[in-house]
Structure 1
């Protein structure tokens, strides 16, 4: 890119020092967002204490408590009691929630929910500030992190506000939602019918997708300029990056945010995600809650409640869309999204100016620069490609890796380093092959040009991610321009100074995105490292060996392979580090036949239950599916779910049935599907909630001992009878032990995504 001093010890030392300093800057940026402080149980009453909040987690998040279970009821009663001890007046909001559906052809998920709601009234409200979390867990784990931490943070925040004794301007609402894990049912029901959901509001929603790490505000509703500005100025540790909002569009992860946003509520969605192997597992217990993460969650929540509680919410919920990201020390940079494309254009102009000046100084030729730019796309594309298949390769090497909900190992650090090193290997191998044929400066300018073009492109189509490339490209271009115009002894300093934005943004972003899962390293981490390394090429050229240069990529490759091997070999597979396995059992009460159902790629234990590909609608799942393996099973003595007709009328060719469904064995869920060959559903009402779309059927959670009342209007086919298939489903892994032919998995596996179902057909 620019002339460098002649090869020699001084040049080598300067290059090495510059590279080391940039690496230290990147490490410092990563550590800057890592929580470490923990307030003791004896902290002042007005402050948030992770120790006090953790004591709550230890009391309620001790066993799995999915909706519809006795443990779920115990947890709800405990939380209501804790709020009453604070002098608050909590309400249990009982309702029926309906999950948002991505595909109109999917069955409806609904259920009876019991949200916990309490209010600290404001003095002159301009709206409401909500502190939200959910108290239900998945059936396989106690949910100490997901979302015991968020729930305990809400209780401790309420305690601190009550202890303060100073009423805020706006109402503060503590909403502990129900049935988030089963489809956001509690938040949907609250938004649909509770009067507190009406009007202006700001929601602080706390979640967890792991067990430690920085609490990241990973998305917000838009426009968000007021929200983000308040977050950046009021939160003690405001960790946030608008790129995650863009990534969330690619990941299949919902929180209550998905229900709050359509209801017109302004939301800040926060969670920690490191150690994601514990997510939705038997190890999501109090022993694996990180107090530093809990402290950051609580400190931010309490500070934001006080800030939003004293503000005019009408002004904060309006405005523009922002780009935002962290810089040390503890800063949250933000600017309007419309400026992202201008910043990208400025980076492109700076890169073009550098090319023009370098060509004018005789450093590069235009033809070779164009060739270098074209070839610079190769390592970027290879980084994406290798990253896309990285997780699949690990599963081939060691199939046990597949048993995690987040594609994150228990010991991820060696594999994270392997990802970064593989990206570096791709870059240095490409550079070693072409640096003499094309030219070192031309290749460096090519990488810079692509970084600038990516920054511009993201600024147009995805402004929230544009800073990942625009600022590093602009800094590198300005550093190159300065290096061309300054005395030779200052060139290394000028180049290094221009690369500081890349060190602050690119490498930390790559590292911080890795906890989302190794399945996604092709989306950002590997291409970001390739881009960062590409911008470093002028400094790399200074330390590049004049002899035996092929040893550089070979050494990088060996180190990469060693890190992969270390990560694979170091990963524990034992009862202290169990993996998820899945198994379903279905009984057809009409034929007396039963089946086992496993995933399409079962582990060694589950393989004994899997046979032929499942087709149609196997009984082991309420709605079946073709991506499973099916094998015969012994029939268990399980009673069939009942259907009782309450009313049956026909008018103008449309038959309306009102029935009550009930699980006679106390299953957690009950559902119904109309055989499409016998009738077409025109309308459906479940538990009093009308389903407007034409569903394939429904499943209802927490039906209780009385069951659920259903009203459906159908257009009959020519046969004169309607066939209704009623299924009840138990998701409790502990019930599997009573099934004939069941053999418990080894201690390094735990049952997740478990279903036991009984299906019976009723001809009406």
Structure 2
């Protein structure tokens, strides 16, 4: 079979065009530049600037959070509302062997007169110790206040409450306390939660309640097309990620959870500040939150049992595509049958080759992308080598995927482009159907395009010449859905782990490749691949705008004291000079250097140890006057029967592995452990954390370059001691 020059060059153009779309991610990943909404971004950000003040980190139960709370209350009152503080000491129920305690101070206020079946708009006002939290969750606080301002004069069908939780970063403690102990929790029928895991990007609605019929109905009547897809919602529900909404969903509420996740390397760092907060993201989240609250308020809450489940996806800011799950399943079946019909009716031979081309192209193209990603990871010493220049890895994955797929197509030389496209649709739809039982949201990538595949099947019986055009329309519909999803998954996974997503790009190539196009297309992809691979190996891993995460930890344990740096590649030379670091034996990327001992002003006493029947009860008092956090790591925790911390008693679920408490209220802990009398006593490690690396680490912290910043808990001092229990 010969390859025409026209088809060969069209294959090159198609491949390079797909690579360009893949690299610059123009569709659906960034917030829209123009959005018609009454939400006032400048006013919202102005309030946030006043609330954040000097932009100090403000973790729960700290002096900084007290100051922020006072400014926040002043802004709420200035907006015309009457806030209330709901506080208490609370421990989350133990999940996977962990209990987390704090003393949150939640803030609530009604936008409307109080009532039942209320819609609640929620965000959290605390930050992590390492960053000021302008996005996480300043964006949520700012949006909540502006939405409240806009709704206060409107007639609404349901009451609307605002909840600004505390201690979210400590472990969702404020939301858990609200759900478990606040009488207002029983008056809530729907929740709109606002979050961030970055400082820019589209404001995605990534989680609903289950079933989601009421949620989707509310979003549809709200008047704004949300950035949302049910695949992300389904995946989020099975991943070990949580927001405040996790603690509120057991109330059997309807729900919509919104977040931005662009520039995720700034998440929980000093770069999560007002200067880096994308005003377009604020505007989009504000418009979507306003629409969601308005939508929920316009619909009476219904029984969860009576709801249906839907799949959904936005097509830009123009159209919200929603289908009941049963209809989506039927469309997938119809699409599969239609693709099979076109495949069978297409002449020209090559039926076996066309059937083999999609799986072989996926295996070689995706496999090559993954292997090259693993190669770069093995060669580069940095922990997050794609941070500074993610476009290099993105291009490498895309060029590898398309180049590998192109080699398969050149080898097989499928004579009919229509049969190749039909075969690709068969494989795609079959894969989606196979996953439907446990991942029904995946249907969004194929159920809409299935309408065009159905049209192509009908045309194959009547007007065969339009079949390629209808397949082209199906490919365009697939691209409009797939490209934003792929970009969102890269942001969610981070680019180093995003190679498998390139499989979606291969399907686009298969849908649109004009028959046998020879080696020109894979050679063009190979040239791009060579340049991208060289760049991925040579470009700086980190920049001032996209720095590495590097915490300085001054740890004092029974073996002595050391400076420790965890999960990092080569240390910056200036830091290596400031302290003589060596690799830690138990971690490839962990480093330690000798350090002076830390002062220890804490003590832990066994108040009582009694046995009654088959239960042994040990009462401890842990005093740590200068600690910001006390934590207890438990080995042999299978015998636990009960845990009480400062009077709070979380429900025990499984073996106890950890319990901890964050904030000033945790500096004295009265702990009661109830144990099976015949079970072995646990081995407990007592960790006390003070935020900041301290005076002894001053030179080391000063040597940290601008391309490295603290993250999450940040620099800290940690005292580690065993808890001595009688055997």
Deviation track 1:273-293 (CA, whole Å, cap 9, x = no partner) reads 222221122211100011111
What is residue 428 of structure 1 aligned with on the other side? 406
Pairing of 1:270-309 with structure 2 (within 5 A) = 270-309=258-297
Distance (Å, rounded) in 1 between the aligned partners of 2:446 and 2:206: 19
The question of 1:454 aligning with 2:421 is answered: no
The question of 1:496 aligning with 2:472 is answered: yes
Distance (Å, rounded) in 2 between the aligned partners of 1:18 and 1:480: 25
Count of aligned positions? 712
What is residue 712 of structure 1 aligned with on the other side? 673
Q: Select 1:593's aligned residue among 556, 560, 567.
A: 560
Secondary structure at the aligned position of 2:228 is classed as coil
Q: CA deviation at 1:585?
A: 3.3
Deviation track 1:69-88 (CA, whole Å, cap 9, x = no partner) reads 22122112221221122332
Is 2:77–2:83's contact at 8 Å kept on the other side of the alignment? yes
Report the more deviating stretch, 74-83 or 23-32.
23-32
Is 1:260–1:267's contact at 8 Å kept on the other side of the alignment? no
Task: List gaps (5 residues or longer) in structure 2.
Answer: none
Distance (Å, rounded) in 2 between the aligned partners of 1:595 and 1:17: 57
Pairing of 1:11-410 with structure 2 (within 5 A) = 30=27, 34-37=31-34, 47-61=38-52, 62-99=55-92, 103-104=96-97, 107-122=98-113, 125=115, 127-162=117-152, 165-249=153-237, 251-314=239-302, 318-328=306-316, 330-358=318-346, 362-364=347-349, 368-388=350-370, 391-400=373-382, 402=384, 409-410=387-388
Distance (Å, rounded) in 2 between the aligned partners of 1:18 and 1:705: 61
Instruction: State the TM-score, normalizing by the size of structure 2.
Output: 0.87
Distance (Å, rounded) in 2 between the aligned partners of 1:21 and 1:604: 40
What is residue 620 of structure 1 aligned with on the other side? none
Distance (Å, rounded) in 2 between the aligned partners of 1:725 and 1:528: 47
Q: Select 1:613's aligned residue among 569, 580, 585.
A: 585
Instruction: Sort the Cα spacing of 1:335 and 1:63 in 2 relative to 1 into closer, same or farther, 3 A.
Output: same
Is 2:351–2:419's contact at 8 Å kept on the other side of the alignment? yes
Distance (Å, rounded) in 2 between the aligned partners of 1:295 and 1:127: 28
Distance (Å, rounded) in 2 between the aligned partners of 1:313 and 1:204: 14
Cα RMSD for the two superposed structures: 3.8
Distance (Å, rounded) in 1 between the aligned partners of 2:361 and 2:620: 62
Pairing of 1:547-558 with structure 2 (within 5 A) = 549-558=518-527
What is residue 603 of structure 1 aligned with on the other side? 570
Distance (Å, rounded) in 2 between the aligned partners of 1:254 and 1:350: 41
Is 1:635–1:740's contact at 8 Å kept on the other side of the alignment? no
Distance (Å, rounded) in 1 between the aligned partners of 2:532 and 2:70: 49
Is 1:640–1:758's contact at 8 Å kept on the other side of the alignment? no
Secondary structure at the aligned position of 2:170 is classed as coil
Instruction: Sort the Cα spacing of 1:126 and 1:706 in 2 relative to 1 into closer, same or farther, 3 A.
Output: closer
What is residue 686 of structure 1 aligned with on the other side? 645
What is residue 573 of structure 1 aligned with on the other side? 542
Is 1:223–1:321's contact at 8 Å kept on the other side of the alignment? yes
Deviation track 1:498-527 (CA, whole Å, cap 9, x = no partner) reads 43322322344333433222244245x311
Deviation track 1:696-723 (CA, whole Å, cap 9, x = no partner) reads 342111143752222222356799x998
Is 1:410–1:577's contact at 8 Å kept on the other side of the alignment? yes
Is 1:348–1:456's contact at 8 Å kept on the other side of the alignment? no
Instruction: Sort the Cα spacing of 1:226 and 1:707 in 2 relative to 1 into closer, same or farther, 3 A.
Output: same
The question of 1:560 aligning with 2:502 is answered: no
Instruction: State the TM-score, normalizing by the size of structure 1.
Output: 0.83
What is residue 747 of structure 1 aligned with on the other side? 706
Distance (Å, rounded) in 1 between the aligned partners of 2:231 and 2:360: 24
Instruction: Sort the Cα spacing of 1:183 and 1:393 in 2 relative to 1 into closer, same or farther, 3 A.
Output: farther
Task: List gaps (5 residues or longer) in structure 1.
Answer: 615-625
Is 1:370–1:446's contact at 8 Å kept on the other side of the alignment? no
Report the more deviating stretch, 281-290 or 301-310.
301-310
Secondary structure at the aligned position of 2:446 is classed as helix
Distance (Å, rounded) in 2 between the aligned partners of 1:680 and 1:184: 26
The question of 1:468 aligning with 2:445 is answered: yes
Pairing of 1:649-668 with structure 2 (within 5 A) = 649-652=610-613, 654-664=615-625, 666-668=626-628
Higher normalized contact order (CA 8 Å, seq sep 6+, divided by chain length): 2
What is residue 534 of structure 1 aligned with on the other side? 510
Q: CA deviation at 1:203?
A: 0.8
Instruction: Sort the Cα spacing of 1:392 and 1:599 in 2 relative to 1 into closer, same or farther, 3 A.
Output: farther
Q: CA deviation at 1:349?
A: 0.7
Deviation track 1:178-237 (CA, whole Å, cap 9, x = no partner) reads 122222111111111111111442111111122212111011111111211221331424
Secondary structure at the aligned position of 1:689 is classed as coil
Distance (Å, rounded) in 2 between the aligned partners of 1:431 and 1:598: 48
Is 1:580–1:751's contact at 8 Å kept on the other side of the alignment? yes
Distance (Å, rounded) in 2 between the aligned partners of 1:386 and 1:206: 38
Q: CA deviation at 1:648?
A: 5.2
Instruction: Sort the Cα spacing of 1:317 and 1:311 in 2 relative to 1 into closer, same or farther, 3 A.
Output: farther
The question of 1:670 aligning with 2:660 is answered: no
Q: CA deviation at 1:564?
A: 4.3
Secondary structure at the aligned position of 2:88 is classed as strand
Secondary structure at the aligned position of 1:88 is classed as coil
Distance (Å, rounded) in 1 between the aligned partners of 2:20 and 2:559: 67
Report the more deviating stretch, 698-707 or 226-235.
698-707
Secondary structure at the aligned position of 2:143 is classed as helix
